[in-house]
Chain A
């Protein structure tokens, strides 16, 4: 067996070498050429060449980049047309694009210069796809269905390989294929390379169909896990072929079986170790946040290469690496880094998927590999389909006798039909040794046809089939908060029942694992700060709060760009209650946050509703993200454009987002100043509100040096502001808004620090408490201060709201909702101004 492996490696090495030789030769030639050219140039102009064209100097990387670009552009064109992609999966279209491109090259050059080589595929294109799927793997689902997946991956794949090889051999003996030189072992080798369902193809097709998650994980998990089997089968049969039929004895076969366990479990172990390594590393990367994500890519890739080096299953390795570390790195790393990892992995994975399919198409346009043998090809196709179905049906039938929830017949059909073959099979076929397998080209072409057939034909028909059979689809909506709570209740209830009934089932094991994990793994692999934030419910809640805050800003923008917050009248109200000293107000913040204060808690309950309301209206992730972007944009536009705006600072190692101490100080001071301003003005005018507003303005105007007035006017066209001008006006408004949210609304402590870590003193209790007062001025103003669209739902919920007064006032506020905040009293100010 060792021999066979080294042989394969040698083979790979050879192909790599050949490749390099080629390019080397070309480069030499080109250098020569260039030299000549340069020479002639020189002689012509005799001087220093200002511009010289050195194509051959950059050719290889340039070509690669161009090809990547072309593939991406192809995807762009394909995706631009949604009518097509709803019927034909993208992967099929990409292959067709490959045909087209290959045809063009063929037409131009009459040779096939580019094709998917195994080296490129296995070393540079495949790892990131698998890493991505491992990283995004729903672990719980995967392990719940582990048994079924393993059965399909191991027994199913062996079954496919054996039956395909044997049947083809039988047909050969029966004379169905004419005169070809393939023996039984070679048939089995061929069967083993075609046996495995391909993860890349499966992801590409199933991603667009959205079948229910159990079905998806069965097919997808199988396609990932069967790699171990494929590698072993391929190696073993390859060794057998080179040994020749006579030399195979029981010993070799036993060795083959043992090697399976070594390859599969060894690969998983390597992945596991690397996963732990990544998790440990991210524990201490706090100071180099910028390259934090890099560790995941590099170590993931190393996991792949290490397994390959030890001739273990590389796919299993990198997959388990991703699965192990996902939880720990997600909580260890900074949120930005997590985002980076996610999106970068998606870029890599999606990109190489695109390239793979395009090049699968291009590879077809090559006269040398096409050896047509109708019998062989058609029979292969037929057997693959038939045996896949038989295998799935038989295995699921056996499994269903033990499964808690049986897999329905419809799902089985889809599982059978989802047995797509892809680039892995092609890569393996190209790896075959021509000297020992005479019909290598026939095998390659058959493999290509099988790949095209399964990806294109089955891919296209998958969706109609799923619809026609009424396969249960996955719900696209996100779970609401209550559903998540219920999920937890479920889990605990199941564990409890198992405990009481004294059964040891899935839940029992899972519970034990979780306890172990919480106790040891988390302690070992998580930062101490991250450990606290483990609870998923918290996370959901936290997320909701963040989103809510952002939407609040957006909504404010919609209603006239935060004007409602800056409205002076609002300030006047607060003052009425809090005539005390500013300093004295501060301790109240803490008191306000205490949970038992009845009035405050009633108040605090209020903003929460908007959380859930919004959540239901827009629970699709895409929408959310759009909102987020909006909010970010908004924040950037409005909130702080300090005097230090124009400091151009570039740093490779830090994002500098308002982290400067001085800057924070400055914001704080300005905020405080402006608030004092409004306080002072408030105190002076104890008269009816109208006068107060006037008064306020007069009082304030001289003290707001840089164009506060202007910022008032331009409530709706904020974007055109000159930065310096808007600064003070907005600064004044920002903390107020934030503090309102924190002080009045949300008692989730997790949320607090995120709002504005720079200034803990921004929470003015008067904002919250003023709400309790039935405002004598105008309820509409209060309505502006609260979330504009927020209905006071909570008081309908329960009797908990103790103060009827506050309830009433809230309602008043609600009824005032529709009218947008009155524009700032321009006339007054105009008068003043003029």
Chain B
């Protein structure tokens, strides 16, 4: 999908405009991409799964899935890819781009929305625009998956409790027959307001290559 090994400066420029990364950062990420894919043009789930540092991450599955999710490509498509190219890789990464001093308020707001959407998509596995209890339970279960069997049981209860919280805050006057189907994107945004996501969900993308220092695959 468009990622050739000899990328011209022009192409970098283009990508930089679309994703907001600097050319230097893109070059670094591209190096990393090639390293991960073994100099292939595309990358598959197996490639990502084999990153050793990721092995301990309880939500590894969701994160990897997010890379192959078409919803995270700023389009309106649903479904997921089997393999992604560098451009898609970069697109997903761009969700974690920190704002600079030059970003305006509107841009910040847009970035925030994007980040929320990214998280939301991570939870909403079937793509119906709602995080249902089943989906949410899964997330919590995996979060606690390292805690053994106790985790499993508690996860369910925690998910239920959390879900009810959302239900009770978002739909305060629910009739007894109402059925809370799941968290919608708007509700999700509402919930995350207090977390100051925009100041936290960032990763520092260095201008300097760290691939030599980094010993993972």
Interface residues of A (CB under 8 A from B): 214, 400, 404-406, 475, 477, 479-483, 485-490, 492-508, 515, 532, 535, 537-538, 541, 544, 595, 601, 604-605, 608-609, 611-613, 615-616, 746-750, 791-794, 796-798, 800, 811, 814-815
Q: Are A499 and B57 in contact (CB under 8 A)?
A: yes
* In the complex, chain B residues whose CB is within 8 Å of the CB of A490: 119, 195, 197, 200-201
CB distance from B73 to the nearest CB of A (A): 16
22 A–B contacts from the bound complex (CB under 8 Å): A480-B191, A485-B143, A486-B195, A488-B143, A490-B119, A490-B201, A497-B203, A499-B57, A500-B67, A502-B36, A504-B206, A504-B210, A537-B140, A538-B147, A595-B156, A601-B156, A612-B165, A794-B160, A796-B174, A796-B179, A797-B160, A814-B176
* In the complex, chain A residues whose CB is within 8 Å of the CB of B39: none
Which 6 A-B residue pairs are closest in the complex by CB-CB distance?
A: A612-B165, A482-B162, A502-B32, A798-B133, A496-B63, A505-B204
Contact of A791 with B176 at beta-carbon distance under 8 Å, contacts A496-B57, A609-B164 already known: yes
Which residues 185-217 of B have a CB within 8 angstroms of A?
A: 191-192, 194-195, 197, 199-206, 210-211, 213-214, 216
CB distance from A298 to the nearest CB of B (A): 35
* In the complex, chain B residues whose CB is within 8 Å of the CB of A796: 167, 174, 176-180
Rounded to whole angstroms, the CA-CA distance of A350 and B78 in the bound complex is 58
Q: Are A481 and B167 in contact (CB under 8 A)?
A: no
* In the complex, chain A residues whose CB is within 8 Å of the CB of B151: 535
* In the complex, chain B residues whose CB is within 8 Å of the CB of A798: 132-134
Q: Are A496 and B54 in contact (CB under 8 A)?
A: yes
CB distance from B1 to the nearest CB of A (A): 18
Q: Is B20 an interface residue (CB 8 A)?
A: no
Q: Are B216 and A499 in contact (CB under 8 A)?
A: yes
Q: Are B133 and A492 in contact (CB under 8 A)?
A: no
Q: Is B5 an interface residue (CB 8 A)?
A: no
Q: Is B144 an interface residue (CB 8 A)?
A: yes
CB nearest neighbor in B for A534: B147
Q: Are A485 and B162 in contact (CB under 8 A)?
A: yes
* In the complex, chain A residues whose CB is within 8 Å of the CB of B139: 485, 489
Residue from B122, B147, B179 in contact with A535 in the complex, judged by beta carbons closer than 8 Å: B147
Select the residue from A492, A493, A538 with max chain B CB neighbours within 10 A: A493
Select the residue from B28, B51, B56, B158 with max chain A CB neighbours within 10 A: B158
* In the complex, chain A residues whose CB is within 8 Å of the CB of B199: 214, 405
CB distance from A377 to the nearest CB of B (A): 39
* In the complex, chain B residues whose CB is within 8 Å of the CB of A538: 144, 147, 154
CB distance from A790 to the nearest CB of B (A): 11
Q: Is B85 an interface residue (CB 8 A)?
A: no
Contact of A595 with B51 at beta-carbon distance under 8 Å, contacts A481-B158, A492-B59, A796-B180 already known: no
* In the complex, chain A residues whose CB is within 8 Å of the CB of B110: none
CB distance from A771 to the nearest CB of B (A): 17
CB distance from B191 to the nearest CB of A (A): 6
Interface residues of B (CB under 8 A from A): 28-29, 32, 35-36, 48, 51, 53-54, 56-60, 62-63, 67, 93, 96, 98-101, 119, 122, 132-134, 139-140, 143-144, 147, 150-154, 156-169, 174, 176-180, 191-192, 194-195, 197, 199-206, 210-211, 213-214, 216
CB nearest neighbor in A for B205: A503
Contact of A404 with B153 at beta-carbon distance under 8 Å, contacts A483-B191, A797-B167 already known: no
Number of A-B contacts (CB under 8 A): 212
Rounded to whole angstroms, the CA-CA distance of A404 and B99 in the bound complex is 8
CB nearest neighbor in B for A475: B194
Q: Are B101 and A400 in contact (CB under 8 A)?
A: yes
CB distance from A806 to the nearest CB of B (A): 14
Q: Are A615 and B165 in contact (CB under 8 A)?
A: yes
* In the complex, chain A residues whose CB is within 8 Å of the CB of B100: 406
Q: Are A500 and B202 in contact (CB under 8 A)?
A: no
Residue from A496, A515, A750 in contact with B154 in the complex, judged by beta carbons closer than 8 Å: A750
Q: Are A749 and B166 in contact (CB under 8 A)?
A: no
Residue from B167, B178, B211 in contact with A502 in the complex, judged by beta carbons closer than 8 Å: B211
Q: Are A485 and B140 in contact (CB under 8 A)?
A: yes
Rounded to whole angstroms, the CA-CA distance of A506 and B204 in the bound complex is 8
Q: Are A507 and B165 in contact (CB under 8 A)?
A: no
Residue from A400, A495, A616, A746 in contact with B168 in the complex, judged by beta carbons closer than 8 Å: A616
* In the complex, chain A residues whose CB is within 8 Å of the CB of B201: 490, 493-494
* In the complex, chain A residues whose CB is within 8 Å of the CB of B203: 494, 497-498, 501, 503, 505, 507
Q: Are B63 and A500 in contact (CB under 8 A)?
A: yes
Q: Are B93 and A497 in contact (CB under 8 A)?
A: yes
CB distance from A145 to the nearest CB of B (A): 12
Rounded to whole angstroms, the CA-CA distance of A245 and B86 in the bound complex is 65
* In the complex, chain A residues whose CB is within 8 Å of the CB of B213: 504
* In the complex, chain B residues whose CB is within 8 Å of the CB of A492: 57-59, 63, 143
Residue from B133, B158, B163, B166 in contact with A537 in the complex, judged by beta carbons closer than 8 Å: B158
CB nearest neighbor in B for A484: B162
Q: Are B154 and A612 in contact (CB under 8 A)?
A: no
* In the complex, chain B residues whose CB is within 8 Å of the CB of A479: 194-195
CB distance from B46 to the nearest CB of A (A): 14
Residue from A489, A506, A747 in contact with B143 in the complex, judged by beta carbons closer than 8 Å: A489
Select the residue from A475, A497, A502, A532 with max chain B CB neighbours within 10 A: A502
CB nearest neighbor in A for B209: A502
Q: Are A748 and B153 in contact (CB under 8 A)?
A: yes
CB distance from A383 to the nearest CB of B (A): 30
